[in-house]
């Protein structure tokens, strides 16, 4: 059976910081019934190459006791930004192809995306804009 690894605002922020990004965190949902319910946390980051990654855990997932205990954030959504607007990655990458958002990411796939975004050369955008590929 698959084991679920919960992600927290702090663990996602640490992952992004380790990759060299500047990070900002805000939590939404708490144990209080009066807390906002549209998301449980949001982590925004900007990498030295100018690309930004916004990671959002929209809702807690509830697991059966034999899978994990109580509420967990084991899946998140990631949005890619460039110059403050949503953007896909240039052609040739396994993520964000023709879309600006990747949904339902577990921690392993989020790590892959962070590493991919960290390594993108921003000149690829200019090149692919000139050739009409982007």
**pLDDT tens string 4-28:** 577 888 889 999 999 999 999 987 6
Contact 19, 119 (CB under 8 A): no
**pTM value?**
0.79
Residues 51-55, mean pLDDT to the nearest whole number: 95
Answer whether residue 29 is part of any domain.
yes
Query: What is the pLDDT at residue 19?
Result: 95
Contact 77, 11 (CB under 8 A): no
Alpha carbon of residue 41 to chain centroid: 11
Give the domain range for residue 80: 9-131
Answer whether residue 3 is part of any domain.
no
Answer whether residue 4 is part of any domain.
no
Domain tally for the chain? 1
Answer whether residue 78 is part of any domain.
yes
Answer whether residue 55 is part of any domain.
yes
Mean pLDDT of the chain: 81
Contact 38, 57 (CB under 8 A): no
Secondary structure of 58-115 as H, E, C letters:
CCCEECCCCCCCCEECCCEEEEEEECCEECCCCCCCCCCCCCCEEEEECHHHHHHHHH
Choice between 38 and 87, residue whose per-residue pLDDT is larger? 87
Answer whether residue 75 is part of any domain.
yes
Answer whether residue 40 is part of any domain.
yes
Share of the chain above pLDDT 90, in %: 41
| Bridge partners of residue 81, in order along the sequence | 52, 86
Answer whether residue 68 is part of any domain.
yes
Query: What is the pLDDT at residue 1?
Result: 37
């Amino acid at each position: 059976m698959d084991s679920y690894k919960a992600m927290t605002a702090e663990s996602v922020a640490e992952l992004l910081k380790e990759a060299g990004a500047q990070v900002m965190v805000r939590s939404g949902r708490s144990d209080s019934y009066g807390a906002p319910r549209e998301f449980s946390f949001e982590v925004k980051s900007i990498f030295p190459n100018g690309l930004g990654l916004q990671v959002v855990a929209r809702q807690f997932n509830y697991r059966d006791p034999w899978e994990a205990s109580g509420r967990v954030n084991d899946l998140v959504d990631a949005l890619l930004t460039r110059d403050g607007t949503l953007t896909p990655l240039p052609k040739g990458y396994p993520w964000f192809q023709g879309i600006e958002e990747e949904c339902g990411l577990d921690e392993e796939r989020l790590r892959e995306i962070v590493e991919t975004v960290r390594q993108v050369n921003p000149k690829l955008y200019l090149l692919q804009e000139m050739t009409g590929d982007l």
